[in-house]
Amino acid sequence: MKITLIGAAGVRTPLLVHGLAGLEGLAGSGGNVQLDELAFFDTDQERLKTIKRVAEAMGKRSGIRARLKAYSDPEHALEGADYVITSIRVGGNEARIKDETIALAHGLVGQETLGAGGFACAMRNLGMMLEYAQMIERVAPRATIINFTNPVGIISQGLLNHSGVNVIGVCDTPLETFESIAHALDRNPFELKFDYLGLNHLGWVRSIRNEQGAELLPKVLASPEIIQKCYRHGLFPAEFIQKLGLLPTEYLYFYYFPQAAYKNTKQSGQSRAQAIAGMNTRLFQKLAQASDSELIEIYENYLRERNASYFSIEATAGERRKENQELYSQFSGYEKIALLVLQALNAETPSLIPLTVRNGKALEDLAPDDAVELLCQVSSHGVQVPPVGRAPEAVRSLLLQVKEYERLTVRASVEHSRELALAALEKNPLVGDPQVAREVLAEYLHAFGQQMKLQAA
């Protein structure tokens, strides 16, 4: 088996190598899975050299037997791949900083996947992802794309409807939400069954059942203490969750409390992207001077710092988390969701995994070709999307509005339409105001005009 990582110079590649070590030797439908090659490609070849060095150290510690090989040409990296894991960011973290700070300058939430920043990120990434999709169709037509590229929902919508590749959108947020809820209940997450629906970074848990089939959601909703334990930084007031009657993923914080997110970010003096830029600079400085034996310790310290600061800027104006976090969870995490999907796709027995996929008839509120994030039955026979009915009334209008924004963003990118881009920003719940939408679009075009490829009507 060959797995190709596109965007392999990203800081999470060593994490993926750690996770993929668990794939080797898995008993699947055709016997044991033999992972022969992990192919790395990134447009930033210098950074890739450094990350590959850490990945090799991680692979050695994890016992991975596959050959790790870096390529300077994407077609050679992709040729013959069985799976392609994509995690690109056109323009790098410098572009993300602009995404967030331009939004913040207009009084908007500054976030890389949502709102105005998410729009700008999507407009740069989707065009490049469609180019990679065409390449994959030529040189690896049987490959399945496992896509982490943000915003996962919009990228998946674009690839599903404007390419011929087989694509699955993945994100660690739903599983992390499930795990947090289980820990709040003092339960093992493997022993609980969750009912979940929505879009990527716009999802809700509407049922939690134990092994006997008893519903536990009322127990959570009845206890402000348990509710608070479900979320880092106390993102949602208990009374708000009780009224909602559902447990949202943490990204709903930006939709439900945008002014708080904006105020906290401004108060902290930097956006999340700016904070990460500092962490990354320190990481690569240390790695450049490190011996092989020091690489993993430096990298894991970086992960701890990054994890501890996650959501802190937007929720607490920069306060770090005090609790110790498990660095490698057995249930969730970036590397774990990739491993789970690959394991399931090579096993006879289906696994239930939250994925971004084509809706079909599953979520009745949305169109068949819409990308949705739902629990799917995954096995060597493919990905099946069980029906979930209609979205709860309390979240339906927001769900429909965000999906319309996603559709417009995909159309704006594919049709290179400035008019549709403006319509998308006006539809986005975190932008809305037509004048602000025009001003923000003008600034993004000034910053990224060539990468967005938009034309006037």
User: Along the chain (457 residues), what's the average pLDDT of each consecutive run of 10 residues?
Assistant: 98 95 63 85 98 97 94 98 98 97 97 97 98 98 98 98 97 97 97 98 98 97 97 93 98 98 96 96 97 97 92 83 72 92 94 98 98 97 97 98 98 97 98 96 93 80
- State the pLDDT at residue 320: 66
- State the pLDDT at residue 26: 55
Model-level pTM?
Answer: 0.96
**Look-up of token digits 């739902």:** 374
How many other C-beta atoms can be found within 10 angstroms of the C-beta atom of residue 176?
A: 22
Residue 359 covered by a domain: no
- State the pLDDT at residue 325: 65
Residue 167 CA to residue 144 CA, distance in Å, equals: 6
Q: Are 327 and 303 in contact (CB under 8 A)?
A: yes
Q: Cα-Cα-Cα-Cα dihedral of 130, 359, 333, 177, to 10°?
A: 140
- State the pLDDT at residue 31: 43
User: CATH no. for residue 127?
Assistant: 3.40.50.720
- State the pLDDT at residue 157: 98
Q: Are 68 and 36 in contact (CB under 8 A)?
A: no
- State the pLDDT at residue 29: 40
Residue 132 covered by a domain: yes
- State the pLDDT at residue 234: 85
- State the pLDDT at residue 367: 98
- State the pLDDT at residue 319: 74
Residue 424 covered by a domain: no
Residue 42 covered by a domain: yes
Amino acid at residue number 401: Q
Residue 116 covered by a domain: yes
- Sequence-separated (6 or more) residues with CB below 8 Å from residue 415: none
Residue 23 covered by a domain: yes
Structural domain count, the chain = 1
Q: Which domain holds residue 79?
A: 2-91+108-169
Residue 453 covered by a domain: no
- State the pLDDT at residue 321: 57
Residue 303 CA to residue 127 CA, distance in Å, equals: 30
- State the pLDDT at residue 32: 62
Among 345, 350, 403, 344, CA closest to 372: 403
Residue 410 covered by a domain: no
Q: What are 311's two structure tokens?
A: 């959501």
- State the pLDDT at residue 317: 79
* Residue 142 vs residues 115, 152, 164, 166, 181: alpha-carbon distances, Å: 35, 22, 11, 8, 38
